[in-house]
Structures are given as C-alpha cells and as structure tokens.
Structure 1
Amino acid sequence: MTPASFRPVINRVEVVMPVHDEEHHLGPSLHALGAAAEAVRRHHPAMAVGITVVLDHCTDGSPDIADRFAGSWAGSGAGPSTGVRVLHRRFRNAGASRAAGVAAALGEAGTGRLQRTWLANTDADSRVPEDWLVRQLEIADAGWDVVLGSVEPDSAGMDPELVRSWRLRHPLEEGHANVYGANLGVRASAYRQAGGFPPLRSSEDRALVEQLRRRGFAVTATDTTRVLTSGRTVARAPHGFGAYLRALGVETAAALRSS
C-alpha cells in the first residue's frame, strides 16, 4: 500500500498508556515517554502533546508513580502544549483501557480536529526511544494513516536461547508483519472510523489494525521507532506478549532437548 496523496498536517499528538500493576516498570516507561514528548516540543514548538495514563484496577504503587509524573509536568512550566491525564478504571481489560484513554484524550473533537490529531499507543512495561513521536509525525505527514512500530524484548534476565528464537521469528526490519500495542500510531479520524479498540483482554491492537486495513487506510510498518519492552514470561493478558514469550520459551526448550 502507498501513502495517501493528501492528509491534513498533524498539529496535536495524544499518547495513551494503559497500566495494570506495573510499579516495577512504570517509572522508567513514563520517563522515556516524557523524553519523547520533550523532543516533540523541541522539533515542533506549536504542537500540542497530551499523555493519558489509564490505571486499570491497580493494587500496587502504580497510581503514586503516575501521579508524581503528572505533577512533575504540571510544575515544570510545560505550559498548555503538554498535559498529563491520569484515569482510574476497573476494567481489567487492555482493550477497554486503551479505548477509555483515547476517549478521554479526544473528548468531543470534531472531524476537522480528528484529522489533525495523531494517537500514539504504548505500554507501561515498555520504553520508547526519544525520537518515537517525532518519527511517527514524520511518517504521518508523509501521508500514512497507521504506523506499526517494532518491539524488542529487554534481554536482561532472559534465557539467551529464548532471545535468539524471538529474533529469528521477528526480524527487526522495515515492512515487518507484526502489530504491537506497545508501538502503534494512528490518525484519530481513522481510529474513529474503524470503531476504535474493541474491549478485548488481548489482541485488541490486531483487531483494530484489521479494521483499519479493511477500510482502506494507509498502513506502514517500520523499525525506525523501535520500542524496548519487558522480556517477562509471566503474562498479564491471555495470549498477550508475555504469554507468547512463555510459549516460545517452552517450544525452544523442547527443541533443544530433542536436538
């Protein structure tokens, strides 16, 4: 698929991050996200940037971490161009959390504003690169409606054989075939037309992208916005990234035993 011949220039970015008991990862994740927001302010001083953190049924220290992050932005002199929202919900559902975050970020925005708003999605156990949003904006302004970024699990503490197996199956390259909620960007108008994130506990990202493709929106996949995510194999969502890594680990171990 090729980019659209014309799309309105983006003038607002809204980032959504769902959180469920992520006190061990949330601080570094928000720090990295803050650095990405600062990069946008340097490259596009007139760009409005919003960050929405959705605390979904959290029972650990995640709310305190999110509140401190929001407070640091409120007191940093960031001005009206950058704002942080912290929502408290009890879904225990990744799709519902993402959808609630987007709904809060967009409010009652009309069609004209939606066409100029970019939605960037990531996870609370992931660290985005500093140029994450800047690069997505470049791609959006080139005519793309959807950006599928790549993800690499943090190898610290992972079985080296599992890391090797994952990399063999998920080459970090342009035009990759993967969809990750931890690294997904979409024009807000396209998101709305596709029906948004469905209330699925996992694979809500794939379901959204499938609808976007069905409706003919311009989708591109890139490794230039690579996100580092947790390499844990204790799953937070059924059939999610952690569950996949655990299954791949079992398969890898079985293959090594039989070799």
Structure 2
Amino acid sequence: MNRHTQALAVVVPAHDEEELLGACLESIATAVDEARSVVPRIGVWVVLDACTDASAAIASAAGMQVLTVIEQSVGSARAAGMRAALERFAAVSSRKLWTAHTDADSVVPKNWLTHQLDLAERGADVVVGTVRPDFRDLDAEQTAAWWATHTPGVANGHVHGANLGIRASALLAAGGFTDAAVHEDVWLVDEIRARGGHLVATDAAWVRTSGRPIGRAPGGYSRYLREDLVPLARQARAPLPLPRVDRHWESDPSEVA
C-alpha cells in the first residue's frame, strides 16, 4: 500500500457530453481497478453542470457518484466535486488525500492513477500530465502540425484539466478551483507553484482528449487546436532544444515552451 496516500478522489466535470462520457468513465473505471491495490479508498465524482442530455443516465449506469449543479462554469463544477470528495474523506488528512482530474470528453490510460500516486509518493504536490487530441477529429494539416510541435515521451509542462493530479492539502492552501469558465486549472497550478508546491510534469500517462473544433469551454483546448496549432507550427523555424527526460521530468513548467 502507498505509505503516504490514504485516499484518492477523481473528479470529472461534464456539460452535455452524452456522446463521449461513456468512454471516459469506462477508462476511469479501469484505472481505478488498477489503483485499488495501492489505495483502496477511492471515490469518483461526475459533476453534471447544466446538462440537458443523457449524461446523468450514463454516469449513473457507470456506477459513479453523480452531482448536479447549474453553474455553466467548469471551475465551479470542479470545485463542487472537490467539496464532495473532502466531505467523503473528512477523516483523512488532506496531506494524504490525492485528487485526480480529467474531462468528460477524454479517455485516460490504465496507469493514469497509479502513475500519479507513484509520483505523489515521491513528493509531488501536483502532477501535470500531457494530453493528445483524438486525431480522428483533426484534418491532415492539423495532425501534421501537432506532431511537428510535440515529441512523444517528452513532458511539455502545459497544464490541462484533462490530465491533472493535485494533493488535497496543496489545493486547499491555494484556495481551490475558481469559478472561471476557462483556465481554472492553470490559475490553480500557478498559485500552488507560487506557494512552493512541488510540481512534476510527465508524459508517461498521457490522456486522449477530444479534438473537436468547438468545445464546451470557450477559449479552451478546442480553440487552441482550431486557431493556434497550425500557425505555431508554421512559426517554428527550427526544433527547440528538449530537456533530458526519463519518461517524466521534474521542474517548473514555465521553463519549457
């Protein structure tokens, strides 16, 4: 059993994700099964934010704990999930509660939780995981641009709510997720880093997320893929130097482009 982590909370915000939520929750269930030998106390909360589709039925059928909010804000949805998790694990020290975060349009790998827990055991307060778009959603130019600007196995340190792990004590000390409609994950990680939290960026358990052109959160990953990806690839005149890595690296994410 993990010596330091006594409980694990997984939080998944969702807004009208009936097409993708089932695959997301199935992948989380597999990752949870893998993690039970490490941390037997695990809870998964699906936070349905102003959903008008079949997301509630899908989450209930998957056996997950379901919360319903009407916030239209991913930050508020994540915060609601965290409040429920903290209440459930109130007897556990926040230092020994690990929280894992993804999005309802994403699919996590089998080692998603065990990898985060391993890094937490080594002292990480935040695990910044990488994401890859579902290339079935991208055209040929976007796909080529993505591979031209990303190197498999190399953690770039970009913060994504779709692949994020945070020690509960660090999350609470930083004030938790704000009620922002976008970038709530980036702001929280920035605050934890400013308070001296230990961040680890890794590509060893990357998450596949939707590459759809119009996302649920304005200004989020969909906007990046739609508006920034190809221009950034065109601007890259030469390959950037890469840090030496052994599947993951420990550093300040702001140090890597």
Task: Give the TM-score band, short-chain normalised.
Answer: 0.7 to 0.9
Alignment match, 1:119: 99
Q: TM-score, normalised by structure 1?
A: 0.85
Deviation beyond 2 Å, 4+ runs, structure 1:
108-112, 166-175, 248-255
Aligned to 2:34: 39
| 2:73 alignment partner AA | N
Out of 10, 19, 22, the position equivalent to 1:15 is 10
List runs of 5+ in structure 2 lacking aligned partners.
236-257
Q: Aligned ranges for residues 208-219 of structure 1 at < 5 Å?
A: 208-219=188-199
Distance 1:11 1:244, change over 3 A: same
Structure 1 residues 169-194: Cα deviation after superposition (integer angstroms, max 9, x where no partner): 34344442300000000100110001
Q: Distance between the aligned counterparts of 1:161 and 1:200, measured in 2?
A: 32
1:54 aligns with 2:47: yes
Equivalent residues in 2 for 1:101-140 (5 A)?
101-107=81-87, 113-140=93-120
Q: Which sections of structure 1, spanning at least 5 residues, go unmatched?
A: 1-6, 71-83
8 Å contact kept, 2:6–2:92? no
Secondary structure of residue in 1 paired with 2:215: coil
Q: Identity rate of aligned residues, in percent?
A: 41
Between structures 1 and 2, the one with greater helix share: 1
Deviation by residue 1:21-76 (Cα, 9 ceiling, x = unmatched): 001100000000000001012x32x5211000000000111111011112xxxxxx
CA distance in 2 between partners of 1:52 and 1:19 (Å): 10
> Structure 1 residues 111, 67: closer, same or farther in 2, change over 3 A?
closer
Deviation (angstroms), 1:249:
6.0
Select which of 127, 131, 155 maps to 2:135.
Answer: 155
Whether 1:65 aligns to 2:65 is no
How many residues are aligned here? 234
Using the TM superposition, name which of 196-205 and 103-112 deviates more: 103-112
Once the 2 structures are TM-superposed, how far is the Cα of residue 252 of structure 1 from its aligned partner? 7.8
Length-normalised TM-score, structure 2? 0.85
Counterpart residue number, 1:74: none
Contact 2:146 2:233 in 1 (8 A): no
* 1:190-216 residue CA offsets vs partner (Å, 9 max, x unmatched): 100010111100000000000000000
